Amino acid sequence: MKLFTVGPVEMYPETLAVAAKPLPYFRTPEFSEIMLENERMLRGTVGAPETAKTVFLTASGTAAMEAAVMNCFDGRDKLLVINGGGFGDRFREICAVHGIPHEELRLPFPEAFTEEKLRAFRGRGYTGLLVNLHETATGQLYDIDAIARFCREEGLYLIVDAISAYGADALDFAAHGIDGLIVSSQKALALAPGLSVVVLSERLYRERVLCIQAPTLYFDFRQHVENLERGQTPFTPAVGILLTLHERLRSMGETGMECLLRNTAALARRFREAARDRGFRLPAYPLSNALTPLLLEPDAKEIYRTLKEAYGLVVTPSGGALEHALLRVGHLGNVEWKDYEALLLAMGEIRERICG
């Protein structure tokens, strides 16, 4: 089996080696030290300043999205949600569940985001903007510079779900004036699912988190931030995943993020060229380096199934209206060019069989 998914993805041998070890007890100075290093190294990979507050959650990415919204906004806010697919829609649902007033910039597939479309929402009294930098459902990458500019001009808090963009697309917490950034373990970090991280700007923490009494115990960011000051979490953390995170961040090193971005971008570019050469069609909107969406109407689902069952190659299927139209080929984790050569060969064979 080879995974060309977006999460979980193929893990590195170094990660698997750490994951195979017995777990230590965690209320110790040794584990606190590891947590403080995790915090510092992770903050470094996204360009967040030392004043930023970090929250480690034992939860999948959606919980971190929900926790961020709950801790930072309430019924007096008015949020703008960029909704270009399943993950944008999840932010909308979260606002609805928590009774937070919100409006949407909707991008029906395959419409591209533009700065002009965003500017139509100027001066409407929003207090925050929620965006999935990479809408994983379609592969579209939004223009973070345009979004950052809009938020700065309009005075909005900017919350970025970078779960599938982290490690694949350029992103700078400080330069883009991001107030809340969400990362998860199972995407480019190539760790097991179950750990998510929220990085908060000092102003969002002070002006919102400290003032809002979020209706939650487990996800109360104040408890998490206070505990992390001594390298701890309020409840039992995902000890095993945190140890693999430490190994991964350490091996990525100081300049490792740029190297990871460059490699992922190169792999994506090469795959896209080769796929186009073989007659496969891609959507026209800007793409994240995390995955390549392929337009395969009406055979997407059948191609997915044949790749998995006859070749042991697992790409990412689509749900809902795109089920039969779109397959997504991931470029995250421990994959290399020869894996894509095998995938392209298999896809060519399947297409020949289907098309006669």
Ligand X SMILES: *Cc1c(COP(=O)(O)O)cnc(C)c1O
Contact residues: ligand X, CB under 6 A: 7, 60-62, 87, 132, 136, 161, 163-164, 184
Strands of 87-156 (E only): list them. 102-106, 128-132, 134-135, 140-141
Nearer to ligand X, 41 or 64 (CB): 64
**Shortest approach of ligand X to residue 28 CB, angstroms?**
29
- As measured in angstroms, the least distance from the Cβ of 196 to ligand X is 7
Residue 338 class from Cβ within 10 Å (0-12 exposed, 13-18 middle, 19+ buried)? exposed
Question: Nearest approach, Cβ of 87 to ligand X (angstroms)?
Answer: 4
d(CA 7, CA 354): 28
Nearer to ligand X, 45 or 164 (CB): 164
Q: How far is the CB of 167 from ligand X (least distance, A)?
A: 12
**In contact, 3 and 314? CB cutoff 8 Å:** yes
Give me 46's structure tokens: 């996204």
Contacts of 199 by beta carbon, 8 Å cutoff, 6+ apart:
42, 43, 46, 48, 52, 53, 54, 55, 173, 178, 180, 181, 183
Nearer to ligand X, 43 or 134 (CB): 134
In terms of CB distance, is 231 or 283 closer to ligand X? Answer: 283
> 31 vs 113, which CB is nearer to ligand X?
113
Is 289:168 a contact under the CB 8 Å cutoff?
yes
CB of 197 or CB of 347, closer to ligand X: 197
Shortest separation between residue 137's beta carbon and ligand X, angstroms: 8
The neighbouring-strand residues paired with 53 are 200
* H-assigned helices in 48-104: 61-72, 86-97
Q: Do residues 72 and 157 lie in contact, with contact meaning Cβ atoms separated by under 8 Å?
A: yes
Q: Read off the tokens for 86.
A: 């399943």
CA 334, distance to chain mean position in Å, is: 17
Residue 182 or 209: the one with the smaller Cβ distance to ligand X is 182
CB of 182 to ligand X, least distance (A): 7
Give least dist CB 186 to ligand X, A: 6
The answer to whether 81 and 100 have CB atoms below 8 angstroms apart is no
Task: Give CA–CA dist 64/163, Å, rounded.
Answer: 10
Dmax over CA atoms of the chain, in Å, equals 65
Q: Which residue is nearest to ligand X (CB)?
A: 61
**Token pair belonging to 337:** 């060019």
